[in-house]
Structure 1
């Protein structure tokens, strides 16, 4: 039985399950105390956009969106993120049997993997799945949806339209939820970062792929564009959940990275 082993546990997030649980409890305590609009915490998204930096920087922002998946009755979660370590053309889909986390493993939906490979011509490049953009989401999924199966897609040089077709197909099944992973601008001062990131935020809010290309510097922009295209065709609207930068954790406003989360719900 093959396992997608952790590759960044102890780096981007704790390897100790007790530490992960303590972080999530901390995030949720803040959420429960400060989110005045309780309707937000009752959302049942079909898809979410989340960041993928170290938990100390972006975990709070990711937690809001991935916690909402726990409100749904989904049976499988498909996590889609950009490749940072391996150059590849197209999209690789994980063919492992299970996905390891410090909190326990989740089964990979092998039937869906086979179906997507055949229908969309996806490949399996094992080295592409040593990828943090997808991996950092799995402990959240294990926490909030402990009984689901997962599928991991990592893309490189990919056409957004191709990925949009995959997402549209996934969203046809009400038992499937989609997670799109991206950070926003990288290493600008806080004022410049906020300006660039607002382009991304407005594009997501309006489902505007045109606006997305007017200065948004998200590292996962291909996945975001695909999600916006699929959302429009699938009758979904977006709700922005959180935006912040690394300066919120580090205090350093000279070179920051931006993070956002959003939920996609039926119109």
Structure 2
């Protein structure tokens, strides 16, 4: 069975000669950086006039990559797909010729309840078809494809689908192409904030924050920027790819290029976002990569929040910076003359970084029940410290806990945490954990030794006003 072209002549030229000429132009302006151990790419799927140049920048990194099968994980635009739809067709046509579906890999996935054949999901779907000419243009030899359409929002289904695909990706001869555009139809300035924040969230998710974090981030950004029809039209395949790549050991993601449709149409009132990215085999840091200038700026923002609350005004003007909109777990700590004056935060993100800092700045100053509310006279005396947390990781034993770890302990309704900097107040791990149990969690002093105790660790990027004093 053969799938005929449906997007040719609309999304890209139907003539082989014109298509080849256009792709040559796109690839003339591509980056030359060398990224090792590439496993695949993230590429947009709009009409080539809008996103073809961005897609080429991703595909340029596959030019030196030999592969026998490209798994194409794409969003379904034409119908609801309950899990993951594979084509009945065994051949896909393009102006460059025919591509064979990898029937052995298809059969392997069909053994799972979460994959099924649905030709109607593929017949008019452009998100896969627009990727095929790029693959044919850069491939060093003949290859097969494994096209998968999905659009489910069911997180558990997404993770199971990703887990199944991870087994395919463990073969070094197979690569993955994730087909997705980003925000749809907000003004350009909103698209740039939302899209870039989502891309940073995606990088953190693949590095170790996990698919749950990316799922949460997309929801937070959709709520924050309501001008968006969606944070990413290919959210479902992006999330499944995150799960697949992480489980297969590929935890690196590099953003190569970002743009939006307004750059072409010159209409900045309603745009669609496009990202070109590369997946690679390496261990990346699970921290948001903030510059020193950004950290200093965020500390000024936190102080301005307290000034506005206590003085009724602040001269601070919040600048647009997409890093400030990456969903983050934070703690805000206040010190006065070297002593703790308030500390409140969250262990998992539920809002953007800038919103979380505002929430917990106010909570640390006015809602920490260990202290009286902060007063105007104290405002100049306090030092502000911010901790941005990495994702928590459950450990099987207290023996895995190391000095410098943030630690969270939980048993039933009792729980408590010590931030990494609290280690400075203890001489050894036993004293640290005893205090955590007894003073923070309301548990017996040695409860951390019990098998019923659930222990979690995390790291934190910690910076304070004292770090920036001249």
2:268 to 248, 253, 258: 253
1:234 to 221, 228, 248: 248
How far did residue 264 of structure 1 move? Answer: 0.7
List alignment gaps of at least 5 residues for structure 1. none
Residues 80-95 of structure 1 mapped to structure 2, 5 A cutoff: 80-95=73-88
Which residue number in structure 2 is paired with residue 110 of structure 1? 103
Partners of 1:95 and 1:113 within 8 A in 2: no
Counterparts of 1:203 and 1:214 in 2: how far apart (Å)? 11
Q: Deviations over 1:105-144 (max 9, x none)?
A: 1111111111111145411111100211111001111111
| TM-score with structure 1 setting the length | 0.92
How far did residue 83 of structure 1 move? Answer: 0.9
How far did residue 228 of structure 1 move? Answer: 1.9
Counterparts of 2:137 and 2:37 in 1: how far apart (Å)? 16
Which residue number in structure 1 is paired with residue 64 of structure 2? 71
Which residue number in structure 2 is paired with residue 124 of structure 1? 117
Cα gap change, 1:106/1:46 in structure 2, threshold over 3 Å: closer, same or farther?
same
Asked which structure has the greater RCO (Cα within 8 Å, sep 6+), the reply is 1
1:221 to 235, 245, 264: 235
1:142 to 132, 136, 141: 136
Aligned residue for 2:273, secondary structure, equals: strand
List alignment gaps of at least 5 residues for structure 2. 223-230, 283-470
How far did residue 43 of structure 1 move? Answer: 4.9
Partners of 2:180 and 2:234 within 8 A in 1: yes
Aligned length: 260
Which residue number in structure 1 is paired with residue 147 of structure 2? 152
How far did residue 70 of structure 1 move? Answer: 2.6
Structure 1 segments of 4+ aligned residues over 6 angstroms from their partners: none
Partners of 1:14 and 1:20 within 8 A in 2: yes
Q: Deviations over 1:154-204 (max 9, x none)?
A: 113253212211331121111111111111001111111111112211112
Aligned residue for 2:191, secondary structure, equals: helix
Partners of 1:43 and 1:71 within 8 A in 2: no
Partners of 2:105 and 2:168 within 8 A in 1: no
2:199 to 192, 201, 205: 201
How far did residue 248 of structure 1 move? Answer: 1.4
Please state if 1:15 is matched with 2:8.
no
Counterparts of 2:38 and 2:62 in 1: how far apart (Å)? 6
Q: Deviations over 1:203-247 (max 9, x none)?
A: 122224423443161011111112222332222211111100001
